[in-house]
Chains A and B, each alone.
Chain A
Amino acid sequence: MNTRNQLLCAWCGVAFAILFTLGFWPLSHFMPPPSPNASALDVATMYREHTNQIRLGLLVMMGASGCILPFAAVISAQMKRMEDGPSVLSYLQLASGALGVVFFIMPCLLWSIAAFRPERDAELIQLMNDAGWMVFLMPFTTFMVQNIAIGLAVLGDRSTQPVFPRWVAYLNFWVAVLFLPGGLLTFFKTGPFAWNGLFAFWVPFVVFFTWYVVMFALLRKGIIAQAQPAGAR
C-alpha cells in the first residue's frame, strides 16, 4: 500500500505552501505584488534596496516549488483508485501538475536575474520583473487542466467506497474557473485584472492555497483508508 511514501508526498504539499509563502511574503517583499503601472525607476529601486533579501526569498520559493511534484504524484496515485482501466485522467493530472511547477520555478529565476545586477539599467530590471510576474500569474491552462482532470476522476469514481466525496469534483471545477481571469492580465496595468489585482492575483492566491489545504486533508484520509484491510472498512 506504500502508505508511508504516499503520506510523505502529501505532507510535501504542506511544506510547499508554508515555505513558498515564507519566501514570497516576509523575504521577497512581493506581498502585495508591485504594481504593473510602477515606473521602471520604482521597480529598480525595489530590487536595489532589498537585493539580498529578494535573492534569498526567491531561493526559498524555488526550493519550495520542488515540493509540488510529490504532491501531484500522490494525487495521481489516489486518482488511479478511482479509474477503471487505463488511468488517463491520472496521467493528465500528473502531466499538468508537473508542468505547473515550471510556472513557479521560472518566475523565481527571472526575478533572480532582475536581482543579479541591480546596477543595470532600470528599464532592463523592469523587463525581467514584468517577465517574472507574467510567467507566474498568466498561465492558467495547466492548472485548469489539472483541476478538471481531478474533478472528472472524482465524478467517475464508481467504487463502493469512493476515494473522495463527490463535492471535491465540484470544488476542483470551481477552482479551475477561478484561475481563468489571470490570463487576461496581459491587457491591464491597473484595476482588478492587473497582476496585482483582485481577480488576477488575490483570488487565485487564496483559492490555490485553500485547495492545497483541502486536498491535503482529503489525501491523508484517502491514503489511511486505503491502508485499512478491506474487511475493516
Chain B
Amino acid sequence: MAALLFHRATAVWLLLVGATGLSWGFGHGMGFGDDFRYGTVAVVIIAFIKLRLVFLEFMELRHAPAGLRWAFEGWTVVVCASVVFLYWSGT
C-alpha cells in the first residue's frame, strides 16, 4: 500500500488536484480582483499545464520518441494559444 502512495504518480495526482483547486479559485474571482479576464487566462493556461503533466507522466511521453512527444507539445501550444487569443479578442 505504501508503495502505491509514495509514488511519483501520486505526487503528480496531488499536483493535478491542487491545480484544479487553483483553477477553481481563479475561475471564481480569486486573486485578480475586478478583472476576471486575467483569471480566465490563468485558468486556461493551468488547464494546459495539467494536460502536459498527464501526457508526460501518466502517458509516459517523457520517455517516448521525440517525434511523438513533440506532436503532443505542439498540439498543446497551438490549442492553448488559439483559445487564449480568441478569448481575449472577444473581451
Direct contact of A and B (CB under 8 A): no
Interface residues of B (CB under 8 A from A): none
Interface residues of A (CB under 8 A from B): none
